[in-house]
Amino acid sequence: MADVALRNAHKTYAGNVEAIKGISLAVGDGQLCVLVGPSGCGKSTLLRMVAGLETVTSGEIEIGGRIVNEIEPADRDIAMVFQNYALYPHMSVYNNMAYGLRNRGVAKPEIDSRVREAAQILEIGSLLDRKPKQLSGGQRQRVAMGRAIVRQPKVFLFDEPLSNLDAKLRIAMRVEIRRLQRRLKTTSLYVTHDQLEAMTLADVLVVMNGGLVEQVGNPLEIYRKPATTFVASFIGAPPMNLIPLQGDDANLAGAGGQAGILGVRPEDLALSDQPAPAGGVALELTVEAIERVGAETYVYGIRSRPAGARTASSGPGEPPPGEILVRIPGQGGPSVGERVRAVAVQDKLHLFSACGRKRLDS
């Protein structure tokens, strides 16, 4: 059991490519910390730095109170689950799980009991004599987890462990990983590009972009109060509507003509014929497209304005008003071409600086 801390960690590859531009992070003992971000944001690099598979250019990485920058991966007391599982193709499931223990000189009976216990937890007891080739994707995934569990390490590292599974299996394994982690109470770092996976798994969510941390926090906290427009659009699906406050829209959010970006989630908009509630917004939309998925309906609309206002707003060089997505429950809703009004209350509005790097309301 251990906590993990990163202090101003940098990674620069040969040729001055800066993959990690200074990240500090603390993961408490027993927590499951998820690193999420688009591909190329540096999340895997960061994980591999913790594993010792990538060197640290500068800064410190600490596992269980010990600085591990110069320590071999084998001696960091970590275990890792790889995206492609990296099972040894020529070894049986049993030997795949036992290999790391044997290399460490663990006694045979001890190895045997640990492997069997892990196999039982993961329900792969009947597969121990098989080779990885003879297993399904989900079974391989379990073996990869088993290989990590038997080691009883201080820290689990997961590198997109579910991305090679089909959608249904992915959800099942996600639930299982969560349950397993709760049960073992092993500090874990988990990398994914899937925000849904990130939201459901994380005790601590770290949103990364371009080699930097955008926001750290409790997943729901991040959902409720995204710190930047990047986080706002990355966390939550479908993404938040972002409306630049300029021209006609300058007073939209009652921000008093201040430049910035207004954000409102599709699920926080409602169709209504009432005027905007106090402090809230009302958006006039022409419906462009409708998607009905059963439980809910997505309404894609383009901002439309009273005829008089149009000349004032659409000056030369001004971008066309963006598409707004409204998510409403049920299967009803308008039809294409109809004009509707979408409203949101003040609570549900997010206000960002014009560059998107800063949240203005609290």
Partner 1 sequence: MIERQKFGNLIPHVVLCIGVLIVAFPVYLAFVATTQDTATIANGQMSLLPGDHFLETFYRTLFIGSSGTTREPVFVMLFNSFVMAMLIAVGKIAISIISAYAVVYFRFRFRMTIFWLIFITLMLPVEVRIYPTYKIAADLHLLDSYAGLTLPLIASATATLLFRQFFMTVPDELLEASRIDGAGPFRFFKDTLLPLSRTNMAALFVILFILGWNQYLWPLLITTRDDMQTIQIGIRKMIVTSDALTEWPVVMATAVLAMLPPVFIVVVMQKLFVRGLVETEK
Name the site residues for partner 1 (rule: CB under 8 A). Answer: 51-53, 72-75, 78-80, 82-91, 99-100, 103-104, 147
Nearer to partner 1, 15 or 294 (CB): 15
**What does the alpha-carbon distance between residue 272 and residue 239 come to, in Å, rounded to a whole number?**
22
Neighbour count for residue 5 (Cβ, 10 Å): 18
Question: From the CB of 175, what's the least distance to partner 1, in Å?
Answer: 25
Distance CA 193, CA 301 (A): 28
Cβ closest to partner 1, residue 13 vs residue 88: 88
**Residue 83 Cβ vs partner 1, minimum distance, rounded to whole Å:** 8
Shortest separation between residue 147's beta carbon and partner 1, angstroms: 8
Minimum CB distance to partner 1 smaller for 105 or for 306 = 105
Q: How far is the CB of 153 from partner 1 (least distance, A)?
A: 9
Smallest distance from partner 1 to CB 139, Å: 17
Count of positions (residues) in the chain: 362
SS3 of the chain: the string is CCCEEEEEEEEEECCCEEEEEEEEEEECCCCEEEEECCCCCCHHHHHHHHHCCCCCCEEEEEECCEECCCCCHHHCCEEEECCCCCCCCCCCHHHHHHHHHHHCCCCHHHHHHHHHHHHHHHCCHHHCCCCHHHCCHHHHHHHHHHHHHHCCCCEEEEECCCCCCCHHHHHHHHHHHHHHHHHHCCEEEEEECCHHHHHHHCCEEEEEECCEEEEEECHHHHHHCCCCHHHHHHCCCCCCEEEEECHHHHHCCCCCCCCEEEEECHHHCEECCCCCCCCCEEEEEEEEEEEECCCEEEEEEEECCCHHHHHHHCCCCCCCCCEEEEEEECCCCCCCCCEEEEEECHHHCEEECCCCCCECCC
Residue type (1 letter), 318: E
Closer Cβ to partner 1, 30 or 100, answer by number: 100
**Measured from the CB of residue 68, what is the shortest distance to partner 1 in angstroms?**
13
Q: Shortest Cβ distance from residue 70 to partner 1 (Å)?
A: 15
Residue number, 84 or 136, with CB nearest to partner 1: 84
- Give least dist CB 85 to partner 1, A: 8
Closer residue to partner 1 in complex, CB, 119/325: 119
What is the CB neighbour count within 10 angstroms for residue 39? 8
Nearer to partner 1, 47 or 343 (CB): 47
Residue whose CB is less far from partner 1, 79 or 149: 79
Q: How far is the CB of 179 from partner 1 (least distance, A)?
A: 24
Q: Give the residue with the Cβ less far from partner 1, 150 or 351.
A: 150
